[in-house]
Amino acid sequence: MTAEKNTRLVRAAVKDLGFSYCGIAKAEKLDDDARRLENWLSAGLHGKMQYMENYFDLRVDPALLVPGAKSVITVLLNYFPKELQNDDAPKVSKYAYGQDYHEVIRGKLNELLFRLRAGIGEIQGRGFVDSAPVLERSWAQRSGVGWIGKNGNLITRKSGSFFFIATLITDLDLEYDDPFTQDYCGTCTKCIDACPTDAIGENRVINGSQCISYYTIELKDALIPENMKGSFDNWMFGCDTCQDVCPWNRFSSSTPELAFSPIPEVLNFSTKEWEELTEESFKKIFSHSPIKRTKLSGLQRNLHFIKEEF
């Protein structure tokens, strides 16, 4: 089969699996991204997320992940919810309203690879979603999906930024999309001005160790630093502030993916109900939710911290 036919098969399968976008880039070493990542890590902007220092070479060279890699397929999956939390509820980032996206997207990527092999023959490929050493946003930009905003998120003109990014690296010959070269943030600084902890710096450099998502999800310490009090704006798990104020997200539409339908407790639990959660109830309600990552002890730590702000 030719690259043209292969590409048509890829795009048809991606659409059939419910992904909202498909972009394809040539698999090559990301030299510029390697330098930026190295500088970011050297500056300690990843805080205590030591895992980001691991597998550096794998992050910037797809051939080390898939020998003979020729193409990187980027797909997006919208997660913007149909319903939002009650105004007085401890805030949860919208990506965590429903089922764990790792489980949902990993299944779709496996099915995508299965379909490609069924239609083309034996090919090598690996799918990645967030938890592997892949620079998803860089590949998305290289494949024409969108641009990296001042808040560090990938933004598209048609649907904003409330979506998951996943990649499939393969040794398949495909036709490549043109990279996205425009910057449609312009002079807007809404995300920078709105960030509760001033984590968004100049030149799209994000201080991960200052982000509310870092403190409420990644930080495993028993206590959140006292100097952060008064700046969490009632965020209990993650933070969407920089996305909520982004003008491009006026184009966001609710996801058709049923797996991302909000868990009723996420929408409706009061602070008191969150605080009274038992270990048994937590495991039952959030067994397939991203919220399980912080564990009940981490959630209670976060609740105690934001409760003291009011």
Q: Mind telling me the catalytic residues?
A: 130
| Residue 19: CB atoms within 10 Å | 24
Handedness of CA 73, 128, 108, 147 (dihedral sign): negative
CA distance 36 to 261: 36
CA distance 248 to 271: 31
CA distance 66 to 168: 10
Which two structure tokens, joined as six digits, stand for 271?
């602070």
With tokens 């990506």, the residue in question is 95
The secondary structure of the chain in percent helix, strand, coil, rounded to multiples of 5, reads 45, 15, 45
- Residues 166 and 105 sit within 8 Å (Cβ to Cβ): yes
Residue-wise over 261-293: b if at least 16 C-beta within 10 A, else e? ebbebbeebebeebeebeeeebeebbeebbbbe
Counting Cβ atoms within 10 Å, is residue 254 exposed (0-12), middle (13-18) or buried (19+)? middle
